A and B are shown apart, each in its own frame.
Chain A
Amino acid sequence: MSKQSIDALVKREYTAGFVTDIESDSLPPGLNEDVVRAISAKKQEPEFLLNWRLEAFRHWLTMSEPRWAHVHYPPVDFQAISYYSAPKAKTDGPKSLDEVDPELLKTYEKLGIPLHERARLAGVAVDAVFDSVSVATTFKDKLAEKGVIFCSFSEAVREHPELIEQYLGTVVPTGDNFYAALNSAVFSDGSFVYVPKGVRCPMELSTYFRINAANTGQFERTLIIADEGSYVSYLEGCTAPQRDENQLHAAVVELVTLKDAQIKYSTVQNWYPGDEQGRGGIYNFVTKRGHCRGANSKISWTQVETGSAITWKYPSCVLEGDNSVGEFYSVALANNYQQADTGTKMIHIGKNTRSTIISKGISAGHGQNAYRGLVKILKSAAGARNYTQCDSLLLGEQCGAHTFPYIETKNPTAQVEHEATTSKISDDQLFYCRQRGLSAEDAVSMIVNGFCKEVIKELPMEFAVEAQNLLGVSLEGSVG
């Protein structure tokens, strides 16, 4: 296609037929350039963002779905998805907890979720329960006082377009991979955080989320920037089971740390994993990457992945600044017919960069769990150091645990270590616990938690307890 015709397309006004659609609450299924324009128009985005989306979309058209991951699923029909729908009105939900599915309430009980949060998680019309707006506003004031910007992505586009333009797509470029390109073209909303120079964010942003979790979209986009010397801890997701009618989720998360800054990013993912026969469930194809741009900066990923039918996720760190540090702590659990292909990439560019990878995979039922990781030491990374440990725990004869670690070293002063083990819960261990009066399920839950301890302890405190319970709940029915 010639440059003129591309320009013509870019500058083309909406054809009349589309106008009514734009006015409506959701777009019809299908994906083409008009849809991308419509989304951008709906969100009143500046021109640079529309062009950015279009560029991503055109690149996406040239790409094909990745097939290398150790997961199997029927092909996704990208034309059958509706790429924009306005958030549902709150009044659609149940009116009070009495109307909520008792099974769901039982799960909340097991997870130990505080009473006042259960209603919100269950989707009860929030205003009827407690006044979230006032609590949220208190937090917002506190953040504003320190100069921390924390808002939805759309709001950031409106209020701080210069930051978006400067940072968006600099960590995960539009053409990075198939799903990142798709996300870049059609992302609906997400979160934006900017922590100014020298500021230590006064609260775990997770706390805020618990009060005011936005409806996560199908194509979420998150951008977090920690300016020089700042610190922020961010938690996404929730231990509570999340039902979602969208089968495909393709989020992109970009983190940037400048000199001496630190970001701690924690994820608890418990989306619908499908039923016991493996029907249904979410496809979670996520691109997460952090870029340690400045010297002495640090990015730490912690994830507890228990949900989704298919997980395809590799939170990574590009360690460019000298002495920068990357960390990855992961627990991935695959029960029933779940498939997880997850891991990390640590790209060492700067001198004396360090990375630690601790990955714990648990497979049960027919679950398939794969660790896939890359440790790359470039020639410039003198004195780089990596330690990787990936352990697998197998519960049941039908499950699988796989390890695909790539280690590429181009610098002789680097030290890279990789260790992996695979084992099952021995009958002796179980017998010992049973003998002391624990039920089989409690015993397994305890052993599994011991196995994951190194990762769980990295989680923000209030989530650590719930995450432990979550592992137990997710493994229910896998032993005995």
Chain B
Amino acid sequence: MNAVLQTHHHYAAEFERNVAELPGAGADWLAELRRGAIDRFAAHGFPGPRDENWKYTRTAPIERRNFTCRSAAGEPLGVDQIQDVLLPNAYQLVFVNGVYRAELSNVSDMPAGVTLSSLAAVLQASPATLEGLLNRHVDQDRHPFAALNTAFVGEGAFIALAANTMLERPIQLLFVTTAAQDGHAAHPRVVVSAGDNSEATLVETHVGLGEAVSFTNLLTEVTLGRNAGLEYYRLQEESVKAFHISAVHVSQEADSRFVSTAISLGAVLSRHDIDVRLAVRGAQCSLNGLYMAAGRQHVDTHTRIDHMAPHCSSSEFYKGVLDGHGRGVFNGKVMVHPHAIKTDARQQNQNLLLSLDAEADTKPELEIYNDDVKCAHGATVGQLDADAVFYLRSRGLDETASRGLLTYAFAAEIINAIKLDAVREHLRAVVLARLPEGEHIKELV
């Protein structure tokens, strides 16, 4: 109990130390929002083992470390160091240890009707722009880390698309964590507001350079107007010592489309929450993902889709590959509200256990409050098919390569569906590199 209280004190003290210097500190509504959030976090604290949403994931390792809530700023970093994770032909905002770096970013040739800028800059210059947009649909009581993020909200990105804007080139938000971030926490916030009939592609990349014991607590908020479409990619490749908590909260208007692909490969402990509100008739979402854990990694994915209006559809497809002492957690909740008739919701989660010490915990949930729906979900946990391994071995592949090839094939179902060429190719290479005899398998696929 004492230790718990101390942590609350730690973050409350961190808040007091930093609050005056956070961007937009002068705006009353923002000060109130931050103050309310830290009070909430202090009241609830870190989620405990009896919290159903955190049943399989212990946050004690984060709690114990008392991370400093000011990032290690000013780390020298050249473009060459991040070259291979920069998407070609994309608009880029680059954040190093959670802090925006204009000199590494690329926002030139931005078409009219598109705002892409550092959140801190907007909060500093015209905080009123964000009033009503921040924490629009975030339930801080259900998401304690969202409360923590809100308390320190400052750095991050703001993306706004005017009505009828079609953005052809993708936007990439690159978050780089360097060794200097050891012991530090970053709480970046991404706010996306897409007007009616607008269309864009957003890629969020998280990479670690050097092995820092860092804590990233990211919150992304997406609001999609009528008939707006967002293709969203999230690639999490932090270093294996990092703690990574992130959440995406999406609210969709009529006929809007949200297509998400979330890939979690890095961090010793990672947790990704997706909350989608299909608020108005005809909205659709599709959530896909791949998580891989090896060594002592723990990767947790929670999705929640609220069908709040008639004629909405959702589909989910997540796959997990768990090796070493890795542990994968999946919780997919679909909530169909009383008047959301003609709902079509599908969900699938498949897990592959590769080692004796790996573990998979999955929970596909359905809560349905009306009768005119079509809902199905499925979950499997298993190993590689012995017959398939035998088939490959009989054709001259050794055991390791056979298993590697089949593992790759399992993961590829998610990767191959990625529309953005650069992202798909990058992921292929990354996944192959993780497999034993990856070079050999590469020749085969």
Interface residues of A (CB under 8 A from B): 68, 70, 363, 377, 379, 392, 394-424
Contact = CB atoms under 8 A, between A and B. Distances in A.
A388 B139 CA distance: 33
Contacts of A399: 369-371
A418 B376 CA distance: 11
Contacts of A416: 379-382
B358 interface: yes
B363 interface: yes
Contact of B361 (A396, A400, A403, A407): A407
A23 B134 CA distance: 70
Contacts of A395: 371
Interface residues of B, number: 36
A418 B378 contact: yes
A226 B360 CA distance: 34
A405 B379 CA distance: 9
Interface string B342-357: 0000000001011111
A409 B367 contact: no
Contacts of B382: 414-417
A421 B364 CA distance: 12
Contact of B368 (A401, A414, A419): A401
B380 A418 contact: yes
Nearest to A399: B371
B361 A406 contact: yes
B371 A379 contact: no
A197 to B, nearest CB: 37
B26 interface: no
7 contacts: A68-B52, A397-B338, A402-B365, A407-B363, A407-B379, A408-B360, A416-B381
B360 A407 contact: yes
B370 A404 contact: no
A409 B361 contact: yes
Shortest beta-carbon contacts, A-B, top 10: A394-B371, A412-B353, A422-B375, A409-B381, A416-B381, A403-B366, A418-B379, A424-B371, A400-B369, A402-B367
Contacts of B377: 403, 418-420
Given A401-B368, A416-B380, A423 B360 contact: no
Contacts of A414: 353, 381-383
Task: Give the interface centre of B56, B358, B367, B381 by most chain A CB atoms within 10 Å.
Answer: B381
B371 A397 contact: yes
A409 B375 contact: no
Contacts of B56: 408
B372 interface: yes
Contacts of A377: 381
Interface in B273-292: none
B206 to A, nearest CB: 28
Contacts of A396: 371
Contacts of B374: 422-423
A380 to B, nearest CB: 11
A70 B366 CA distance: 12
B316 interface: no
B366 A422 contact: yes
The binding surface of chain A is classed by DSSP as strand
Given A412-B353, A412-B356, A400 B368 contact: yes
B367 to A, nearest CB: 5
Given A408-B361, A412-B354, A412-B358, A392 B368 contact: yes
A456 B356 CA distance: 39
| Chain B interface main SS type | strand
Contacts of B361: 406-409
A412 B383 CA distance: 6
Contacts of B375: 420-422
B359 A402 contact: no
Contacts of B217: none
A411 B356 contact: yes
Contacts of A422: 366, 368, 373-376
Nearest to A379: B356
A12 B383 CA distance: 59
B303 interface: no
Nearest to A388: B379
Contacts of A394: 368, 370-371, 373
Contacts of B368: 392, 394, 400-402, 422
Of the listed residues A70, A417, A422, the one surrounded by the most CB atoms of chain B closer than 10 A to its CB is A422
Nearest to A370: B367
Interface of B: 52, 56, 338, 341, 351, 353-383
A403 B362 CA distance: 13
Contacts of B366: 392, 401-403, 420, 422
Contacts of A402: 365-368
A419 B369 contact: no
B355 A420 contact: no
A415 B358 CA distance: 14
Nearest to B50: A68
Contact of B359 (A392, A400, A409): A409
Given A400-B368, A406-B363, A416-B379, 4 more contacts: A394-B370, A400-B367, A410-B359, A414-B383
A395 B371 CA distance: 6
B78 to A, nearest CB: 43
A451 to B, nearest CB: 14
Given A409-B351, A420-B378, A404 B372 contact: no
Contacts of B341: 397
Nearest to B373: A422
B412 to A, nearest CB: 20
Given A394-B368, A399-B371, A417 B363 contact: no
A424 B361 CA distance: 30
Given A398-B338, A402-B366, A403-B365, A409 B353 contact: yes
A51 to B, nearest CB: 31
Given A398-B338, A418-B364, A408 B359 contact: yes
A237 B361 CA distance: 36
B380 A412 contact: no
A407 B367 contact: no
A410 B376 CA distance: 26
B390 to A, nearest CB: 16
A413 B383 contact: yes
Contacts of B379: 405, 407, 416-418
Nearest to B372: A424
Nearest to A403: B366
B364 A405 contact: yes
B73 to A, nearest CB: 42
Residue in B56, B359, B368, B380 whose Cβ sees the most chain A Cβ within 10 Å = B368
A379 to B, nearest CB: 7
B371 to A, nearest CB: 4
Contacts of A363: 371
B408 to A, nearest CB: 17
A184 B375 CA distance: 41
- For B357, B362, B366, B375, the residue with the greatest tally of chain A CB atoms inside 10 Å of its CB is B366
Nearest to A376: B361
B359 A421 contact: no
B361 to A, nearest CB: 5
Contacts of A420: 364, 366, 375-378
A405 B373 contact: no
A230 to B, nearest CB: 34
Given A394-B373, A396-B371, A407 B362 contact: yes
B417 to A, nearest CB: 22
B367 A405 contact: no
B311 to A, nearest CB: 16
Nearest to A386: B381
A363 B375 CA distance: 15
A260 to B, nearest CB: 29
Contacts of B354: 412
A412 B324 CA distance: 11
A355 B375 CA distance: 25
A422 B372 CA distance: 10
Nearest to A375: B381
A314 to B, nearest CB: 15
A68 B355 CA distance: 33
